[in-house]
Homo-oligomer: A and B are copies of this chain.
């Protein structure tokens, strides 16, 4: 078994449940079934562990987002695929998605360099820029579009998590909300 993975997995669960402050490294180690020292062998500090967990989780999401989106299709279909993938991932990986949000609205987020953040957003912004150039998306500032789309997704995800919807109902909501978003930005 991969201990590094095991540590991240355990830390995620505990951070989500108790928060960063109320999750001692000793508890992470114990729950992960390893010794205290082993944790610090892989991650020099608790902060480093937290940052690594964020990078890890974020890359999981990004990976999934662009999966299954063949570039042959229309911009709308590609966009919809990314939209749907993201919400599906969030629903299937609630703890992970919640962690990303928890991290992003915490002082830990400021530990990530602006360059890193810009780098992360670049492909998404480029994609939106292409949409504007193709006269499909409204000619709004891409950063504005990006933030609006992101928060829309966060909102829909929150709504989906607030009640117990059947899978069919969920798909319906996703389709419906996509149209709302699409109408707003095109």
Q: In the complex, what distance in Å separates the CA atom of A17 from the CA atom of B108?
A: 10
Q: Which of B19, B144, B154, B158 contacts A106 (CB 8 A)?
A: B19
A151 proximity list for chain B (CB < 8 A): 151-152, 154-155, 158
Least distance between A175 CB and chain B CB atoms (Å): 13
Q: In the complex, what distance in Å separates the CA atom of A19 from the CA atom of B107?
A: 6
Q: Which of B98, B101, B106, B152 contacts A148 (CB 8 A)?
A: B152
B147 with A158: CB separation less than 8 A: yes
Known: A20-B19, A105-B101, A144-B173. A155 touches B150 (CB 8 A): yes
Q: In the complex, what distance in Å separates the CA atom of A102 from the CA atom of B110?
A: 13
Q: In the complex, what distance in Å separates the CA atom of A181 from the CA atom of B107?
A: 30
* Contact residues, A95-120 vs B (CB, 8 A): 98, 101-102, 104-108
A108 with B19: CB separation less than 8 A: yes
* Contact residues, A138-159 vs B (CB, 8 A): 140, 143-144, 147-148, 150-152, 154-156, 158-159
A98 proximity list for chain B (CB < 8 A): 105
A19 proximity list for chain B (CB < 8 A): 20-21, 106-108
A-B contacts, 26 of them at CB < 8 A, read: A19-B20, A19-B107, A21-B21, A21-B22, A98-B105, A102-B106, A104-B105, A105-B105, A140-B176, A143-B162, A143-B163, A144-B156, A144-B177, A147-B156, A147-B158, A148-B156, A148-B177, A151-B151, A151-B152, A151-B155, A151-B158, A152-B152, A152-B155, A154-B154, A180-B184, A183-B183
Contacts A17-B107, A18-B107, A104-B105 aside, 5 further interface pairs with beta carbons under 8 A come to: A19-B108, A144-B173, A147-B158, A147-B162, A184-B184
